[in-house]
Structure 1
Amino acid sequence: MDFKLEVLVIPVSDVDKAKDFYTGLGWRLDADFATGDQFRVVQVTPPGSPASVIFGTGLSSAVPGSVQGLHLVVDDIEAARAEVAAHGANVSGVFHDAGGVFHHAGTEHQVPGPAPEHASYRSFASFADPDGNEWVLQEITTRLPGR
Structure 2
Amino acid sequence: MDLKLEVVVIPVSDVDRAKEFYQKLDFRLDADFTVKPGYRVVQLTPPGSLASIIFGEGLSSATPGSVEGLQVAVTDILEAHDWLAERGVDVSEVFHDETGVFHHAGTVGRVSGPDPARASYGSFLSFEDPDGNGWIAQELTTRLPGR
Q: Same fold (TM over 0.5)?
A: yes
Distance between the aligned counterparts of 2:101 and 2:108, measured in 1? 15
2:54 is aligned to 54
Q: Unaligned regions of 5+ residues in structure 1, if any?
A: none
Kept in 2: contact 1:25–1:88 (CA 8 A): no
* 2:36 counterpart SS class: coil
Distance between the aligned counterparts of 1:2 and 1:107, measured in 2? 34
Q: How far is 1:2 from its partner?
A: 1.3
Aligned CA RMSD, in angstroms, stands at 0.9
1:120 is aligned to 120
Q: How far is 1:20 from its partner?
A: 0.7
TM-score (norm 2): 0.97
Task: Choose 39-48 or 84-93, whichever is displaced more.
Answer: 84-93
1:92 is aligned to 92
Matched residue type, 1:101: V
Q: How far is 1:35 from its partner?
A: 1.7
* 2:30 counterpart SS class: strand
Q: Unaligned regions of 5+ residues in structure 2, if any?
A: none
The answer to whether residue 93 in structure 2 is matched with residue 101 in structure 1 is: no
Q: How far is 1:25 from its partner?
A: 1.2
Q: How far is 1:39 from its partner?
A: 0.2
1:141 is aligned to 141
Residues 58-73 of structure 1: pairs in structure 2 closer than 5 A: 58-73=58-73
Task: Give identity over the alignment, percent.
Answer: 65
1:20 is aligned to 20
Which runs of structure 1 show a deviation greater than 4 angstroms over 4 or more consecutive aligned residues? none
Kept in 2: contact 1:41–1:54 (CA 8 A): yes
2:40 is aligned to 40
TM-score (norm 1): 0.97
2:132 is aligned to 132
Matched residue type, 2:15: V
C-alpha offsets along residues 85-128 of structure 1, whole Å, 9 cap, x if unaligned?
11121111100011111100111311000012101111000100
